[in-house]
Structure 1
Amino acid sequence: MPAPATPHTRLGLLLLLTALATGLACHHQPARDDTFPWRSLQLLQAMAPSPTPPCHHHHHPPLFPDTLLHSTHPQQAADTALRILQHLFNTLSSPSTPQHWHNHPRQQLLNSLDHYIHHLKRCLSGNVGSFQSRGPRNLLLNINKYIHGVTTYLQDHNYSACAWDHVRHEAHTLFRHLDTLFRRMRS
């Protein structure tokens, strides 16, 4: 006859099951996740279909630190993807976005970003921050430095249409990086 489970062993089993479920939530993403970056690129293009005149007097915003893509751990890739999505959402939901951008595709993109942010928060619950100090030179510091650089770039150029166009092109690159990170999350 098996011994009755103590509250301590039940708690341990519950924690183990929660950890397994959390790991599987990031590992097994819905099939439509494969189309997220591609669909986001389409919406990004639809937001501002007519390019702004070239602005040669503007330097480019800071480039994404490619070292963040060298992460081999699925949780670290998920954490990086979450921070990129949060940055994109905060930047593209700014009230200072150009007036000539189309609102409907922008809202669709923001809704999609919000959906993935919630998905990644759920799959990382309990683990967010546990991988920040691992990997290529402090993940959180690198991402925060990059985000601050983009924000400063927009401020330095008074949120001009030209500066926003540069940031939109950088967002295009970020969606390609997200595709890489999503594949690492599933490995």
Structure 2
Amino acid sequence: MATKSQGWLWQICLVLLCSAGIMSLDCNLLRHQQSRFNWDSLQLLQNMGGKFPLECLEDNTAFQFPQKVLNPKFQQHATMAIHEILQQLFGIFSRNLTQTCWKRRNVDRFLNGLIPQTERLETCLPTKAGANILRLKKYFQRIQDFLKEKKYSACAWEIVREEGKRCFQYIDKLTVRMKK
């Protein structure tokens, strides 16, 4: 005969098992959510500034995205890379925008979209970081250094906005790798 405390224990175990199932289901659906999010973010970045100004072509630079990141060995490494890219993009696009002609509302919509997606990814991250995260940090440091060197000029921001669009193309490639 089960005691009252054993009944509570079984109920707690049942809740934990259901929660784990729901969380893993959410991580399995993450790839589909990520695909939609990538498209939406790309559109927001495009609408933020319109067409690329031709006078900014002379400032264009290659930031050299780390190609090793695009071929992760495990699904979790793809998830970690996407998470890191989104965090870095949030950090870059949330400061020193005074010289841009972008509407603040469009920038805020872009940034506000990054927050929930980053949080969704966090629930599916492994506890151990991969070597590719360091490569990504160096890549984004080059972008930040470029902005500083160009004194956060409007053209520098346009180039970084274009690079941000490329980042979502890289995220698309990583999203494909998220499936089991």
Taking a change above 3 Å as real, the CA distance of residues 21 and 71 of structure 1, as seen in their structure-2 partners, is farther
The aligned counterpart of 2:147 is 154
Question: C-alpha separation between the residues in 2 aligned to 1:170 and 1:121?
Answer: 24
Question: C-alpha separation between the residues in 2 aligned to 1:40 and 1:105?
Answer: 11
The aligned counterpart of 2:87 is 86
Question: C-alpha separation between the residues in 1 aligned to 2:21 and 2:75?
Answer: 14
Question: C-alpha separation between the residues in 2 aligned to 1:32 and 1:143?
Answer: 22
Alignment equivalent of 2:160, drawn from 167, 171, 177 = 167
2:69–2:132 contact (8 Å) kept in structure 1:
yes
The aligned counterpart of 2:132 is 139
Give the partner amino acid of 2:141: H
5+ residue gaps, structure 1, are 6-12
5+ residue gaps, structure 2, are 7-13
Give the partner amino acid of 1:121: E
Please provide the CA RMSD for this pair.
3.0
1:1-80 map, 5 Å: 22-29=23-30, 31-80=32-81
Alpha-carbon offset, residue 107 of structure 1:
1.3
Taking a change above 3 Å as real, the CA distance of residues 142 and 169 of structure 1, as seen in their structure-2 partners, is same
Higher mean C-alpha displacement, 53-62 vs 142-151 = 53-62
Question: C-alpha separation between the residues in 1 aligned to 2:110 and 2:63?
Answer: 23
Question: C-alpha separation between the residues in 2 aligned to 1:71 and 1:81?
Answer: 11
Taking a change above 3 Å as real, the CA distance of residues 35 and 159 of structure 1, as seen in their structure-2 partners, is same
TM-score, structure 2 as length reference: 0.81
Secondary structure in 2 aligned to 1:150?
helix
The aligned counterpart of 1:117 is 118
1:74–1:185 contact (8 Å) kept in structure 2:
yes
Higher helix share: 2
Secondary structure in 2 aligned to 1:38?
helix
2:78–2:178 contact (8 Å) kept in structure 1:
yes
Aligned residues: 174
Alpha-carbon offset, residue 48 of structure 1:
0.2
